[in-house]
Amino acid sequence: MRKNIVAGNWKMNNDLAQTETLITELQNQSKTSNAEVMIAPAFTNLWHAFQSLRQDDVEVVAQNMHFAEHGAYTGEVSVSMLKSIGVQTVILGHSERRAYFNETDETLAKKVDTALLNEMRVIFCFGEELADRKSNNHEAVVEGQIKNALFHLEADAFENIVLAYEPVWAIGTGETASPEQAQDMHAFIRKTLADKYGNTVADSVSILYGGSVKPANAKEIFGKPDVDGGLIGGAALNAEDFYAIVNAF
* Of residues 224, 142, 125, the one with CA closest to residue 182: 224
Q: Give the binding range for ligand PGA (CB under 6 A) out of 68-76, 135-143, 155-163, 211-219.
A: 211-219
- Is residue 41 within the footprint of ligand PGA (CB under 6 A)? no
- Is residue 217 within the footprint of ligand PGA (CB under 6 A)? no
Q: Give the binding range for ligand PGA (CB under 6 A) out of 21-29, 61-69, 138-146, 210-218.
A: 210-218
Query: Per the residue annotation, which of 59, 96, 128, 166 is the catalytic one?
Result: 166
- Which residues, 6 or more positions from 114, have their beta carbon under 8 angstroms from its beta carbon? 65, 66, 67, 68, 69, 79
Residues 85-114 that bind ligand PGA (CB under 6 A): none
Judge whether 25 counts as a catalytic residue.
no
SS3 157: helix
Site for ligand PGA (CB under 6 A): how many residues? 13
- Is residue 223 within the footprint of ligand PGA (CB under 6 A)? no
Query: Measured between alpha carbons, how far is 176 from 199 in angstroms, rounded to an integer?
Result: 29
Residue 234 Cβ, how far from ligand PGA at the closest point, in Å?
4
Judge whether 152 counts as a catalytic residue.
no
* Of residues 241, 231, 143, the one with CA closest to residue 185: 143
Q: Which of 59, 132, 166, 226 binds ligand PGA (CB under 6 A)?
A: 166
- Is residue 213 within the footprint of ligand PGA (CB under 6 A)? yes
Q: Which of 232, 239, 246, 248 binds ligand PGA (CB under 6 A)?
A: 232
Query: Per the residue annotation, which of 94, 96, 103, 138 is the catalytic one?
Result: 94
**Residue 13: what residue type?**
N
- Is residue 211 within the footprint of ligand PGA (CB under 6 A)? yes
Residue 208 Cβ, how far from ligand PGA at the closest point, in Å?
9
In eight-state DSSP terms, residue 62 is B
Q: For residue 121, what is the enclosing H or E element?
A: strand 121-126
Pair type for strands 5-9 and 121-126:
unpaired
Q: Report the residue number, 210 or 229, with the smaller CB distance to ligand PGA.
A: 210
Q: Give the binding range for ligand PGA (CB under 6 A) out of 36-44, 126-134, 165-173, 181-189.
A: 165-173
- Which residues, 6 or more positions from 213, have their beta carbon under 8 angstroms from its beta carbon? 176, 221, 230, 231, 232, 235, 245
Query: Measured between alpha carbons, how far is 39 from 26 in angstroms, rounded to an integer?
Result: 10
Q: Which of 123, 210, 227, 246 binds ligand PGA (CB under 6 A)?
A: 210
- Which residues, 6 or more positions from 24, have their beta carbon under 8 angstroms from its beta carbon? none
State the catalytic residues.
94, 166
Point out which residues bind ligand PGA (CB under 6 A). 9, 166, 171-172, 210-213, 231-235
